[in-house]
Amino acid sequence: MANDGSTTSGRPWADLPRELADHMRPHLDEVADDMIQEIQTRVREYDRPGDGSYSGTLRLAVERVLHFFVERVADPGHDPAPVTDFFRAIGRGEAGEGRSLDAMQTAMRVGGMVAWRRMTEGAEALQVPPRTLGAVGEVLMQFQDELAHAAAEGFSQAKAAVAGEMQRRRKRLLDLLFADPPAAQEAIADLAAAAHWPVPRTVAAVALGRHHADTRQPAFPPDVLADLTRRTPSLIIPDPDGPGRAKLVDRALSGTLAVVGPTVPLMEAARSIQWARKTLCLVQRGVIEADSGVIRSVEHMSTLILFQDEGLITSLADLRLAPLAHLRASQQDRLAETLLAWLQSGRNANEVAMRLHVHPQTVRYRLRQLEELFGDQLLDPDLRFDLEIVLRARALLADNAGERIMPPARAAVGESGEVVSLRRG
């Protein structure tokens, strides 16, 4: 402290007169009583007459603060670790009990006001210079800030630890729900309780198309189980068909490549994520378009069925599209496109022309070619069904990903006799 009693910037403790500590020590018990009474009167959370342990903790905290304050006035180099560690532990305890720091911070302000009031009364009796009294007020506020910071640090550490443990439990719960065969229902119920996750009746799984390490992480509702660290980042959405849930999910996943699997009972979550992943794979290949926001598997079930076993589809295509095998790829494409449109339009040539945006005469020419190539096969409903299946799969691949289901190359097919008429209208 300078000779005129002012404080030196950054050194408020070192600038206090050491003898002030000797004047404070005899009054610490009285000040502690006043502080406790005022805190219990003004902070309802600390007024617990029937809780002796809580009152004892409050007194211990107040006395530690007062004694440390006085010892630091006497020795500015006095180690603050014991008292800051104590308040760090208090912060952790508040977090562990599920409380905020509001009550503790209020109690600290009330205690500080009582301490300041007693100091000003004692300073008047001792005729302490105003600048010295100001320096005492400065270190008092600094001391309060140090303790508040320590409590907040402990509180944050505890919250982070709890959140980390809760997240680990939720990821483990996700693992159990996605297990195939499914985990025991009792195990899922126990882990759900430990993870504070209300067990829903139905769920839908979500497969995300990319990792989020370098992007904005979506803000999911608290009841959504999420693990973005998986090779395919995944979610479980409880009660996905509830009021407003679809919009909530769409909003959370906005800007993210995401596929929502079908809604299933909780114990069938593995089935939902399997279909979500299959759908995502087809989206990434370009078979299913991804330009309409969040994608839902149930809107693409026929495509999923078609591509459930691509080897089987390819074998069927080899068999049913064999009459096209001797043609150039461009000819195969035109005739396959025309045949699919003809099958889908109820075998109406005019509607085929409208679908393909070509002249009806062009369609009739192509249909005659198809009649010559396929012959009586086109009269068989079962064979027409097979043809539509493989042509739909071929069109999906060709239109969206540049892939093709091609018939095997073979020798040229000769004319099959009399031409069967495909034209209707």
Among 53-62, 251-260, 343-352, the minimum mean pLDDT is found in 53-62
pLDDT of residue 52: 58
| pLDDT tens digits for range 32-58 | 898 888 888 888 877 776 565 667 778
Among 64-68, 200-204, 209-213, 379-383, the minimum mean pLDDT is found in 209-213
State the CB neighbour count (10 A cutoff) for residue 401: 13
- pLDDT value at 26 more than 60: yes
DSSP string, 220-259: --TT-EEETTSSS-EEEEESTTSTTHHHHHHHHTTTS-EE
pLDDT of residue 70: 86
Average pLDDT for residues 151-164, to the nearest whole number? 82
Residues 413 and 373: beta-carbon distance below 8 Å: yes
pLDDT of residue 4: 39
**Residue showing tokens 């490549």:** 257
Nearest to 122 by CA among 29, 20, 34: 20
| pLDDT tens digits for range 257-302 | 999 999 999 999 999 999 999 999 999 988 888 776 799 999 999 9
Cα separation of 278 and 133, whole Å? Answer: 74
Cα separation of 57 and 53, whole Å? Answer: 6
Average pLDDT, the chain: 83
| Half-sphere exposure at residue 128, Cβ-oriented, CA atoms within 13 angstroms | 23
Give the model's confidence band at 402: pLDDT under 50 very low, under 70 low, under 90 confident, else very high: low
Cα separation of 334 and 356, whole Å? Answer: 10
| pLDDT tens digits for range 65-106 | 888 888 888 888 888 888 889 888 888 888 877 778 888 888
- pLDDT value at 407 more than 50: yes
**Residue showing tokens 């902070």:** 43
- pLDDT value at 334 more than 90: yes
